[in-house]
Amino acid sequence: MSEIRKQAVELPIRLVAAGVGLVILILLMTYWLIQREISKPLHEVATVASLMGQRNYQEALSHRAASIKARGEVKQALDAFKTMAARFISAQTELEQQVESRTAELAEANKQLDALAHMDGLTGLFNRRAFDKDLNAAIESGKSYYLMMADIDEFKPYNDNYGHEAGDRALKKIADCLRDKTPLKVYRYGGEEFAIIIPAAESVEQKLNELRDAIVELTITHEYKQADLPVLTLSMGAAPVEANEAAADAIRRADRQLYKAKNAGRNCVCVQEGIVDS
């Protein structure tokens, strides 16, 4: 009788304990499922959203992607963020490429613009701005140079009788010849005047006479000259460029040699000596 009474007391306790254990087990499983199916995916969504807000698109795209088992709307939200991150990365890469391309194009355009700013529009030679810049650089370099100034002989009567269009064509031919016959920069100093900055190590007078002869060989007819040769010719004068002098002084000395060439009958070269080859 006592045994039956004992079992009657223990049975409800066991049932209650089993029920409590079952409830705890169910709660634990529910918690684990919520953590795995909802909390972790939502936390991942929040993390990815935060990375997106910080513009860390690459990290947002790769963040814990393999360890997440999201489903339903949570998975759709996560996938949407990943897709958005991939698109942002693609757009950013494309934008960077466009910026790089535009920067290169702008640099090239600036280079061409700078070149145009230093070129003479009619002849294609370097212009007075380029000449002034390069002459000052030559003076400051401390190296030995000669400055050559040239002038087309009796060009005014050529323009007056053949017309300015013919004069322009003649200038272009002479400019092309000078440029083709020397590797040095040739400048249009102004009007029908030209200039060249020549390293002193070269045979200046010989080089200038070669250029003068090349202009004669163009045989650009000029029947209105006082000189006997009925073609366009050049008179040239050259003088040494001295260290630390003013550019105007170097130009003035070269001009004096040019005047000597003109007074000597034109179509000739006068060179002032005074530089020791370096």
The larger pLDDT score, comparing residue 9 to residue 129, is at 129
| Edge-to-edge order in the sheet of strand 193-199 | 186-190, 193-199, 145-152, 234-241, 269-271
198, 277, 202: which is closest to 237 by C-alpha?
198
- Residue 160 in contact with residue 254, Cβ under 8 Å? no
Percent of the chain with pLDDT over 90: 50
Q: What Cα–Cα distance (Å) separates residue 214 from each residue in 112, 136, 169, 174, 261?
A: 31, 29, 17, 9, 17
pLDDT at 97 over 90: no
* pTM of the predicted structure, to 2 decimals: 0.63
Which pLDDT value is given to residue 158? 96
Which pLDDT value is given to residue 24? 80
The larger pLDDT score, comparing residue 101 to residue 192, is at 192
CB atoms within 10 A of CB 39: 12
The larger pLDDT score, comparing residue 238 to residue 273, is at 238
Q: How far apart are CA 248 and CA 132, in angstroms?
A: 10
- Residue 231 in contact with residue 219, Cβ under 8 Å? yes
The catalytic residue positions are 192
Which pLDDT value is given to residue 22? 73
Q: Which residues contact 208 (CB under 8 A, 6 or more apart)?
A: 148, 236, 238, 269, 271
Q: How far apart are CA 203 and CA 206, in angstroms?
A: 6
Residue 196 parent element (H or E): strand 193-199
Which pLDDT value is given to residue 35? 60
Which residue type sits at 179?
R
Which pLDDT value is given to residue 201? 73
Tell me the per-residue pLDDT of 30-47, one tens digit each, with 9 for 90 and over: 766 666 555 566 566 666
Which residues on adjacent β-strands are paired with residue 126?
119, 187
Q: What Cα–Cα distance (Å) separates residue 204 from each residue in 1, 95, 132, 145, 208?
A: 141, 55, 21, 10, 6
**DSSP strand pairing (193-199 vs 145-152):** antiparallel
